[in-house]
């Protein structure tokens, strides 16, 4: 039985604890979620002497392959063939490889990118196999590890394709999928009882998503944005930034490209993105509708000078395969390297905001997840501060990529030539740690993450209606609050999803101050030193004990 441990009440960093129970969304992941299976340590095949396996979710028929080493490809092809399967490479991989091959890079930079470049491969039945068992990619991964040997440099070149969720355990803490029959438990990321503990935050009036009015002014930059003073650039990998007066072309770049390729997914449905609905026949807002817009507004509030790069990474359901996340991260890393070279005409990214994560099956293995860590570390090596939400599961189990933040006993040491990952948990308005916030020694920062106010797309007015409406004899239209009419452009929401961009905005604001003071060298070494210096001045956990 796993046990949880209790840390100090007001922000002191907990000691390395026993892991608390497996987050419920892992136990409940269904086959309709990106063709997902859940790895059960009691029944999973395991290589002898390998680290213990923890529950995780993974895409059933795809694997991730890092790099281009022939030994890796040969071993994978052999074990797949022995199981009766062939390799079908993702067609997008070829386009991305072409963009990488054609990029103006130094030999060192090409080696760095080749070493972290990940491709997705699908396992398909061999043509001569008319009857076959469904592929077990976990078992195939174990066979690969035996084939190459545990001590081989190729051991970590193959990995599962995990589904990554926007803030697991809540996706911004939204009540979604409410049952028709009264008296059943509501859903806030997983079945729970309304009004108790963590799920209070999902209730409108207690920090849950709801519209509000904003009577203040829009954020005002502290210097002329057309001057020679650089603007901080913040990349937001999320659901996309919707229509809002604060978030026009002057402040949001929506078509981010490198080598002729768009970074981010095209909307599956432009209408669904515009309206935020998950199903037009019902017309309800999806669990993560407005997520990216809310985050962009928080960045603007903290740093009015910032230019937000809108990299749409997943839809309004808040789910993305790790392979698709990696695609965006490695293309962004390629863009970053070219921008530092000055060869692309793009401004380098200063901050990357990620409000997503997943739980890995072998977090104690030193080579357990070089695939996801690779492009994130490369972004840090080229001067970008990667800021990640800690998750909403109220667990001490490390979540990735947040747990890539350097910490005692962690898998990633602090390298003075790299901007470290920053992991952010959530605080309540009174300064206490929000009950839903994940925590542990890997969470280096706490920022406001409950009952925040920020921007929503002004196009959102979904199917829910006010509880009462009346037209008086004088012709006045009176009504109760419409719970999903966000045409005011603003709303309340809670989650570590939003604590992360609060810190990202603070970092951007600190860099704007540095740029105003004349620290404008955009070279790689100068950028890393500047970001590390400014990041070191911001309040972390140690300063709040």
Catalytic positions are: 238, 291, 497
Give the integer Cα–Cα distance in Å for 404 and 390.
11
**Where do the DSSP E strands lie in 365-522?**
385-389, 422-427, 445-448, 452-455, 469-471, 477-479, 490-493
Number of neighbouring beta carbons within 10 Å of residue 308: 28
Q: Which two tokens stand for residue 297?
A: 């507004």
Query: Taking Cα atoms as reference points, which of 141, 460, 118, 522 lies closest to residue 291?
Result: 460
Please answer whether residues 77 and 87 qualify as being in contact, where contact means their C-beta atoms are separated by less than 8 angstroms. Answer: yes
Q: Which two tokens stand for residue 492?
A: 């309340």
Tell me the CB-side half-sphere exposure of residue 544, using CA atoms within 13 A.
20
Q: Is 329 helix (H, G, I), strand (E, B) or coil?
A: helix
Please enumerate in sequence order all residues whose Cβ is within 8 A of that of 475, keeping only pairs 6 or more positions apart, or say none.
Answer: none
Q: Which two tokens stand for residue 130?
A: 């008319």
Q: State how beta strands 233-238 and 351-354 pair.
A: parallel
In 470-507, which positions are buried (b, 16+ CB within 10 angstroms) versus exposed (e)?
Answer: eeeeeeeeeeeebbbbbeebbbbbbbbbbbbbbbbbbb
**Where do the DSSP E strands lie in 434-489?**
445-448, 452-455, 469-471, 477-479
Give the integer Cα–Cα distance in Å for 499 and 493.
11
Strand partners, 159: 64
When computed from its CA atoms, the radius of gyration of the chain, rounded to whole angstroms, is 23
Q: State how beta strands 445-448 and 422-427 pair.
A: parallel
Sheet with 85-89, side-by-side order of all strands: 85-89, 118-125, 62-66, 158-160
Please answer whether residues 18 and 4 qualify as being in contact, where contact means their C-beta atoms are separated by less than 8 angstroms. Answer: yes
Give the integer Cα–Cα distance in Å for 370 and 112.
13
Q: What is the DSSP letter of 504?
A: H
| 128 phi, psi to nearest 5 deg | -85, 10
Give the integer Cα–Cα distance in Å for 205 and 214.
16
Strand partners, 389: 424
Query: Taking Cα atoms as reference points, which of 544, 354, 541, 545 lies closest to residue 440?
Result: 541
Give the integer Cα–Cα distance in Å for 301 and 463.
30
């Amino acid at each position: 039985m796993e046990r949880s441990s209790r840390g100090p009440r007001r922000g002191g960093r907990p000691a390395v604890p026993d892991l608390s129970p497996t987050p419920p969304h892992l136990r409940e992941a269904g086959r309709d979620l990106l063709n997902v299976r859940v790895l059960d340590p009691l029944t999973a095949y395991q290589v002898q002497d390998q680290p213990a396996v923890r529950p995780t979710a993974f895409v059933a028929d795809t694997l991730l392959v890092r790099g281009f080493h022939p030994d890796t490809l040969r071993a994978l092809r052999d074990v797949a063939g022995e199981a009766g399967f062939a390799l079908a490479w993702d067609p997008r991989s070829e386009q991305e490889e072409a963009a990488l091959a054609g990029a103006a890079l130094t030999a060192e930079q090409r080696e760095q990118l080749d070493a972290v470049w990940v491709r997705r491969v699908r396992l398909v039945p061999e043509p001569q196999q008319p009857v076959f068992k469904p592929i077990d990619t976990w078992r195939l991964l174990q066979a690969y590890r035996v084939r190459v040997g545990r001590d081989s440099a190729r051991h970590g070149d193959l990995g599962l394709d995990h589904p990554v969720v926007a803030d697991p355990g809540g996706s911004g803490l939204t009540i979604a999928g409410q049952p028709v029959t009264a008296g059943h438990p509501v859903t806030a990321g997983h079945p729970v009882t309304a009004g108790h503990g963590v799920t209070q935050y999902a209730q409108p009036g207690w920090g849950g998503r709801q519209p509000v009015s904003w009577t203040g002014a829009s954020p005002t930059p502290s210097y002329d944005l057309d001057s020679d003073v650089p603007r901080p650039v913040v990349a937001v990998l999320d659901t996309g930034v919707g229509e809002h007066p604060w978030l026009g072309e002057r402040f949001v770049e929506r078509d981010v490209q490198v080598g002729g390729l768009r970074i981010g997914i095209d909307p599956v449905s432009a209408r669904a993105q515009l309206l935020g609905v998950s199903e037009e026949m019902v017309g309800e807002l999806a669990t993560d509708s407005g997520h990216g817009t809310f985050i962009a507004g928080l960045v603007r509030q903290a740093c009015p000078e910032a230019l937000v790069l809108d990299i749409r990474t997943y839809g309004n359901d808040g789910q993305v395969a790790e392979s698709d996340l990696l695609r965006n991260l490695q293309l962004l890393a390629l863009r970053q390297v070219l921008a530092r070279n000055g060869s692309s005409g793009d401004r380098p990214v200063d901050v990357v905001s990620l409000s997503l994560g997943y739980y890995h099956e072998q977090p104690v293995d030193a080579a357990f997840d070089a695939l996801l860590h690779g492009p994130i570390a490369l972004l840090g090596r080229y001067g970008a501060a990667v800021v990640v939400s800690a998750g909403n599961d109220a667990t001490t189990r490390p979540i990735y990529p947040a747990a890539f933040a350097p910490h005692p006993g962690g898998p990633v040491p602090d390298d003075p030539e790299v901007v470290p990952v920053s992991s952010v948990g959530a605080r309540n308005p009174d300064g206490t740690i929000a009950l839903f916030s994940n925590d542990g020694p890997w969470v280096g920062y706490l920022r406001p993450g409950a009952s925040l106010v920020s921007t929503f797309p002004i196009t959102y007015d979904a199917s829910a209606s006010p509880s009462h409406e009346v037209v008086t004899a004088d012709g006045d239209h009176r009504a109760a609050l419409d719970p999903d009419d966000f045409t005011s452009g603003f709303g309340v929401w809670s989650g570590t999803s939003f604590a992360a961009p609060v810190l990202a905005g603070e970092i951007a604001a600190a860099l704007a101050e540095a740029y105003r003071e004349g620290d404008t060298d955009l070279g790689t070494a100068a950028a890393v030193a500047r970001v590390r210096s400014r990041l070191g001045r911001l309040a972390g956990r140690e300063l709040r004990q």
